[in-house]
A = this chain, B = another copy of it.
C-alpha cells in the first residue's frame, strides 16, 4: 500500500477512450467528447496505490475507467471504515468543483486501475461550454444522493440482520442468482456498520434459513427473494 501513482503524458487516443467509456460523457456528441478528452489526464494506479490521501486539497474530478477504487477513513482505533467502492464509470471529487475542500479519506486502488482526471478550472470551463454536461452531472449526483440517503436509512437500523438484508436486496436487484460482492467481507462489514464477526454470523444465519448461499469468498447466491424481503426493513 502506498506506491506512488504514475501519470502518463498526453496521447489523445487514450484520453478519448477513457472519456468515451464514462457514463456521464456518453450522451455527448463525438466532437464534444474530443474537446473533453483534450483537458483530461489519465492516471494509472497499481493495486494498493493511493489516488489521494487525507489532508490533500481536492481540486480534481477523478473518474474510474477500469479497475476499482476504495474510499476509506482511518478511525482513531486504526481501523478502516469503508465509505464507498468505485467501479468503472463512478467518480469522486465533485465537491472540488465548488470549494477547496480537504480530502478526509484515502482513495486506494484495489486492483490495477485506470482513471481520467479533470482539473477544476478545466471542468468549470467545460460546463460553461457544454450545458448538456451539466445535466449529466446533475443526474449522476442525484443518483448518488439517492443511494447515499438509502444507505443512511439502512444504517439507522439498530439490528444487523435487516441491515444486511436491505443491502443484499439492493446488491442483487431482487432477483435470484449469483452475485459478486464489490468488496471484501471485512470492508463490507465496515460499510454496513458492523464487525466482520457479526457479518459472518448473519450471513450464516441467512444461509441456514435457506435464503442465500455463500459461494467461495466473494460470491453470494440468492435463493429466496421473498424471504429476504421479509427480513429486510420497510
**A residues near B, CB below 8 A?**
73-76, 81, 83-84, 94-95, 97-98, 101, 104, 127-128, 131, 134-135, 137-139, 141-146, 148-149, 151-153, 155-158, 190-195, 233-234
Contacts and interface: CB of A to CB of B under 8 A. Distances in A.
Contacts of A101: 146
Which among A134, A142, A151, A192 has the greatest number of chain B C-beta atoms within 10 A? A142
Contact of A138 (B84, B141, B156, B190): B141
A74 B137 CA distance: 31
Nearest to A160: B158
B138 A83 contact: no
A127 B133 CA distance: 12
Nearest to A230: B76
B97 A155 contact: no
Contacts of A131: 127-128, 131, 134
Given A135-B134, A152-B151, A234-B104, A145 B144 contact: yes
A83 B149 contact: yes
Question: How many copies of this chain does the complex contain?
Answer: 2
B97 A139 contact: yes
Closest 5 interchain pairs by CB?
Answer: A155-B155, A156-B193, A134-B134, A148-B148, A141-B141
B73 A139 contact: no
Nearest to A150: B104
B83 A193 contact: no
15 contacts: A73-B234, A75-B157, A76-B234, A94-B145, A95-B142, A95-B146, A97-B139, A98-B138, A98-B143, A127-B134, A134-B134, A148-B151, A152-B152, A155-B155, A158-B194
Nearest to A129: B131
Given A152-B152, A233-B76, A98 B139 contact: yes
Given A94-B142, A145-B145, A148-B151, 19 more contacts: A73-B234, A76-B234, A83-B149, A83-B153, A98-B142, A98-B143, A101-B146, A127-B131, A127-B135, A127-B138, A134-B134, A141-B145, A144-B145, A148-B152, A152-B155, A156-B190, A156-B192, A156-B193, A157-B193
A149 B73 contact: no
Given A192-B156, A234-B73, A149 B148 contact: yes
